[in-house]
Structure formats: C-alpha cells, structure tokens
Structure 1
C-alpha cells in the first residue's frame, strides 16, 4: 500500500490521536517514537488535525476531590415541542452562560440519540449547586424539557484515557 493512501493517512492519524488522548502533554519526540514515525511527520499531522478541527483543544484531568468539587451527569429528556429558531438561544445559553450563573463548570454538553436527548457533564461544589443548574435550565427552557435526572459521580476509575492514580481507594466503597 502506498504511504500516501487515504487509508494509511487515516491509520497514521489514529495512532497519533490515541497517543495524544493518553497524554496530550507528551512530547512530539516521544509520540513519534511510540508510533514509529519521524518527529516532523508527527508535528505535521498534529498541525493538520488542529487546523481541520479534528483536535478541538487540550485539557488537564483534575482530581476534583483535591479542589473540593464533585462531578455530575445531568440527563435531559425533551418534550415533543419543536425547537425551531430557539436552537441558537439554547446552544449559546448552554455552552457558556447558564453554567456561569450558578458557578458550575460544564465540561461536556452533548445532544444524544436514545432514551435521553441531552447530556451535561459538569463539576459543582455540591448537589445543591448541581440542582440550581438544573433549575435554571428548567426555568429557561421549560417548554422543551420533560425530565431531568442528575447523577453524582462517586469515584472515577478512568477519565479521558487516563486511569485514576488512586484506584486503590475504590475499595473504600465496598
């Protein structure tokens, strides 16, 4: 197979993306070594993936307990009310404004297929703050929300390809 085939390029990109997902802070030299590529090839592929928005950004995985925060998942079920033009308002509000109003950090905001229609993963100081976030969403978009369920994360085993370094502490819950 020629080196420049679309399939080979896709495979090379996937190798690099896997390494970045494991540790986005890893040096280009180490990524190149793990993938069996030259440093220049890795750099070019990463720049291309950033330019075409395959890579949206980079982040740190934080131990929320050490900063007195808790992680929550909020699942929303929609009503049958058509959203129409309000979608722009919903996107703007849920991506930036509503979380800030109640001091929660929205980390994931996804439209879903299945039993639920929308999911938020966020951090907050406590369940009261998480419920305030839920109330603000309901107040602003009540005609579109049929149900909201909030789940509190008790112990993360793995986040973003990284295994919790304190995995032994899971035993405390059993």
Structure 2
C-alpha cells in the first residue's frame, strides 16, 4: 500500500495497524473478519458477522483535539477504507471538526453520500462511524437496504459473531 506501512501492535500480534509514513501522529487499526480456529472447541469461528470488519482511527482525540475517532465497519478492500479514513484524518489535522449527523458528498470519488453516525468502537470509546449507502442509494435504516450495508446501524459490540459472545459469557 503506497504511503502506508503495516506494523504490529504490542500484545496483539493478530491486529495489524497501518501507520502514515509522512505523519505518524495518527493510526488506523484494522480488525479483519477472518475465520480462525478456536483451540478449545477445535471449531472454526468468525470474529464478526459476515460482511463486517472493523477499521478505526487512533490519535484524532489525543493529538488533534477532535471529540471523536472515526470508524468503518463495512468489510471492503482495506486500501479503499484506509484512504477514506485518511481523508477524514487529514481534514481534522487541517482544523475541520466533524459532528454526528454530518452528510458529505466530497469524500468518495463518485460523489456518493456518506454520513457520520455516533457509535462506540470495540473498546467502548465514542466514534463517528462512516456510513455508506448501498448500490441503490439506500441508507441502512431503509428496510430494503442490502445485507452488510444494513448492519452499519448496529452497535459495534453486537456485530461480533454470536460465538464470541457465548465465549465471553462463559468466561465471566
């Protein structure tokens, strides 16, 4: 990926982080939706529901004074999602402040609308989730919205695959 390097986060070898070479004062943390082998039950499990991944920024609040980090939960090519979040981060670095409910038409190359909704990430920090319309220009709250796109309104902890919740409940 041009302009980015993959680094590993301490104590989390399976969670790649993308760091900007030119300005390493904010990061993107990507948790892919992959199938992994559960060592206890010897079964294959997913981290998230199908069609979901987790990409979130780190550093917008501490280093740039923005009230929220940014998040994308659509399982799309990492390069595209990273470039979209990089655009938001560069605008914050330039002094722009985003608020929940903002609708923008100048983020995507084709001029499609994106909306910023207030959610929490996997660490229960407040984030602005970048919400996309589906191929027929329907927002996730539209009952005819396509699968995957309609899951963008679901709180992040509920996007975890049900087996993950069962495992967490057994541990408690």
Structure 1 or 2: larger helix share? Answer: 1
**Larger % of strand: which?**
2
Q: TM-score range by the shorter chain?
A: under 0.3
Larger RCO (CA under 8 A, 6+ residues apart): 1
